[in-house]
Structure 1
Amino acid sequence: MQDRDRLDGRRALVTGGSRGTGKAVVRRLREMGADVWTTARTMPAGYELPDRFIQADTSTIDGVKTIAARIAEEGPLNILVHVTGGSSTPPGGFTAASDEHWLAELDLNLLGAVRLDRALLPAMVEAGAGAVVHVTSIQGQMPLHDATLPYASAKGALRTYSKGLANELAPRGIRVNTVSPGGIETEGYDDFVDRLAGGNDVTPEQAKQMIFDSLGGVPLGRFATTEEVADLIGFLVSDRASSILGAEYVIDGGTTPTT
């Protein structure tokens, strides 16, 4: 790889890095040479770099404080990637989503990123350079109403927040971009399929087809892999993307209709 592809000497934090897309992003940034920290609620058994793992829940105020305090001990970040997200709202439409479901989804998918940015970005601004990526979702534009309306709403808000943040921080040397995946083959996706299947009394394969149908189909014929999403994020935090900011990159196999 050429120098502009490398991240040697840069410190990164990836939230939700214990599995799925976050795990793939951690691996990709390390391959590019970065010193990568990650955080999640639970450290996986046998995690290869336990000194680079911060056990914390980004959906809570105390969890964000724990992460910020540990990172502050090492100095400012160069790269911050928010991958943490998910949905636990039961199927059944908008009436099935209680206040507790809404608040949980907002804390996990929106406010965790907002709080962590507020805690960590001032040091990045003081250093005068850095790259931030927020992982949102095409559900911000194509919400699935049956079970993930709170999730979709939170991700839509994260998209709006990211665009405003990009405008504010660009003159200070910080690039903020968003990556909006469609379906991704992860453990979280498998959990959602099982939940949808159970709630509708169908098989997992039928539940997957329901998801495809609700999206209007996926022209590529498959969902993205975690490695493909990680490659895109690796590009966005590299010097090859040095003039890209305030952008939203959709990686969905053509799911989102174009005009």
Structure 2
Amino acid sequence: MKRFLAIFVCTCLYGSVFADDKRIDSEKVLVVAPIIEGARKGDALAQYVAGLLYMDAIIVNKDSESAKKYLLNAFHQDPQKYADAGGMVGMTWFGKDDIEDSKNYLREAARYGDSSSLKVLSIIDDSNDMLLKSAEAGDANSMAILGMGYFTGKKGFSKDEAKGFYWLKRAIDFGKEEPEFLIKIAQCYITGTGTKKDELLGLSILKQMDERANTEESALLLADAYSVCNKKHQSLYWAMRALGRANEPNNEFYRSIVEKILQNEQR
């Protein structure tokens, strides 16, 4: 998304200044030419966009050296704003250039808040020290990466559900309220995974999500959660609500859900 916005904004800013030049065959080149010219003159936004164009071969021919040059120039001019440019250089040229240089680009980008660089460093360095320091300093992205890493026990993490819950909950408290994180925390409360069991709190989180989303999927989450809590009437109720919201209901799917709930009720 940031790539698209940067290219769009830069195009709007620079415009098509060579529109009357008949030597230029393509309208696309009319747009790119002033961007490249702005990059050569040292404009950070133009350099960032030019680097992306050369790296991804958008309109222009792929040119790795130009891509690297412009991305690094943008990063060095404004590392806070273009932290991901330094990260892209570190990730794209890792193993092609000097590995330590690539790691240094990643470390610099991570220092300025690029979460992708942090994640890559945690894998290639086989250490999560930098990620942990960033999380402890209040970076919500790092907290979320730590939380999910501890939950899964992959990519250099040792599985620890208590640490997973702690860091993912902190990420949410710091504003990372992505549905997948909220669902994970709610399920932890309901099942007592990594934290003290609190079914009411877990169900409350899912209900708040349903109030905002009001979708078939959010109702199904509640149906499943109530089933886990052994509250079959409420589970059936939410399954029916999900069915009512479905645009193209899969009758076999819902029939299987109802049968499962009723079977559990009879036990």
Query: What TM-score range do you get, normalising by the shorter chain?
Result: under 0.3
Q: Of the two structures, which has the highest relative contact order with CA contacts closer than 8 Å and spacing of 6 or more?
A: 1
Greater helix fraction, Structure 1 or Structure 2: 2
- What TM-score does the superposition give when structure 1 sets the normalisation length? 0.27
Greater strand fraction, Structure 1 or Structure 2: 1
Query: Higher Cα Rg: structure 1 or 2?
Result: 2
- What TM-score does the superposition give when structure 2 sets the normalisation length? 0.26
